[in-house]
């Protein structure tokens, strides 16, 4: 009843002994995540939060069998941390770090693709499989197990939708925050394909925003081609003034692609229901799964 991570995932944290890594790793452990180690160069041989610290990802993977890494490394070193994890054979890399230089991520993204591993982020809240495990910074208390998958570009809206669904007794399988930077790991299309293949995910909430064309591409290449499950969409930034440059790094509009309306049109044309408010998203999800919302 999940994609990407579950209670069997063996997770390490790069930057575990730093302030952010330590704080969020502790919350990850509290949620039930199997945290097996941390990576902090120069601190190998010590321990923190009850797990061993290693100098390199390769050492950590060899000793612990880690399959997933959460990257909480400062921006100047984060791309190198991603590539180190990929080179060590970590299957899923989740990079929370924001502010990574664009050209660093171009290089890291190409390296990850060549290594054949998966990357979520950067500049993302990570992911959580409700009741099983989380990697990242999504709050523990808002998640509830159930049949709705979530994929989102916006961190804050991810939290709002999860909490709204949970309060309405609509549980989630896995919630994935892919991030909003121009150069990212997994796309909407790739995460939707995983949800399509997951028999426990009965409906999907897809949270997009203005800028880029990932939402349009997902609508055209995945949702419109026999997705087979209800998709409830929400696009933020629909009231942004025309021609106004927005603050989000990924909010770049080119021609008729990347606008709020182009995304709404693409999703609607593919058969998704696009909602105007979070409350409408919750009601649409309840309707999509029927009595399962209250089980």
Q: Summarize pLDDT for 31-57 with one digit per residue, the tens.
A: 999 999 999 999 999 999 999 999 999
Task: Tally helices (H) and strands (E) across the chain.
Answer: 9, 14
Q: Residue 250: which pLDDT band, with cuts at 50, 70 and 90? A: low
Per-residue model confidence (pLDDT) at position 249: 47
User: For position 239, what pLDDT does the model report?
Assistant: 60
Among residues of the chain, what percentage have pLDDT more than 70? 91
pLDDT in tens, 103-150: 999 999 999 999 999 999 999 999 999 999 999 999 999 999 999 999
Among candidate residues 24, 48, 141, 248, the one labeled active-site is: 248
| pLDDT tens string 51-70 | 999 999 999 999 999 999 99
Taking the C-alpha atoms of residue 153 and residue 86, their distance in angstroms, rounded to an integer, is 23
Task: Enumerate residues 6+ apart whose C-beta is below 8 A from 97.
Answer: 71, 72, 73, 74, 75, 78, 121, 122, 123
Structure tokens, 48 = 């923190």
Q: Is 248 a catalytic residue?
A: yes
Task: Quick: pLDDT tens for 168-213.
Answer: 999 999 999 999 899 999 999 999 999 999 999 999 999 998 888 8
Domains of the chain (ranges plus CATH)? Answer: 10-120 (3.40.50.720), 144-294 (3.40.50.261)
């Amino acid at each position: 009843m999940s994609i990407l991570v579950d209670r069997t995932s063996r997770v390490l944290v790069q930057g575990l002994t730093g302030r952010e890594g330590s704080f969020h790793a502790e919350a990850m452990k509290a949620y039930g995540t199997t945290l097996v180690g941390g990576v902090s160069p120069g601190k190998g041989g010590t321990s923190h939060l009850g797990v061993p610290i290693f100098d390199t990802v390769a050492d950590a993977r060899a000793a612990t069998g880690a399959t997933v890494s959460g990257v909480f490394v400062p921006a100047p070193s984060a791309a190198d941390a991603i590539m180190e994890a990929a080179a060590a054979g970590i299957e899923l890399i989740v990079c929370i770090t924001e502010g990574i230089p664009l050209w660093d991520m171009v290089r890291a993204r190409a390296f990850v693709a060549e290594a054949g591993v998966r990357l979520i982020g950067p500049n993302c809240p990570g992911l959580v499989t409700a009741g099983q495990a989380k990697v990242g910074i999504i709050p523990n208390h808002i998640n509830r197990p159930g049949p709705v998958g979530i994929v989102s570009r916006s961190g804050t809206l991810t939290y709002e939708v999860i909490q709204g669904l949970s309060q309405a007794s609509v549980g989630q399988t896995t919630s994935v925050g892919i991030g909003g930077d121009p150069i990212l790991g997994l796309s909407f299309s790739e995460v939707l394909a995983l949800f399509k293949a997951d028999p426990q995910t009965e409906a999907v909430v897809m949270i997009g925003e203005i800028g880029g064309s990932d939402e349009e591409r997902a609508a055209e290449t995945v949702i419109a081609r026999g997705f087979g499950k209800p998709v409830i969409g929400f696009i933020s930034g629909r009231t942004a003034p025309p021609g106004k440059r927005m603050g989000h790094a990924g909010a770049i509009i080119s021609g008729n692609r990347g606008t709020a309306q182009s995304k709404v049109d693409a999703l609607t044309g593919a058969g998704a229901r696009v909602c105007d408010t979070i409350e409408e998203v919750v009601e649409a999800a309840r309707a999509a799964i029927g009595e399962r919302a209250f089980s």
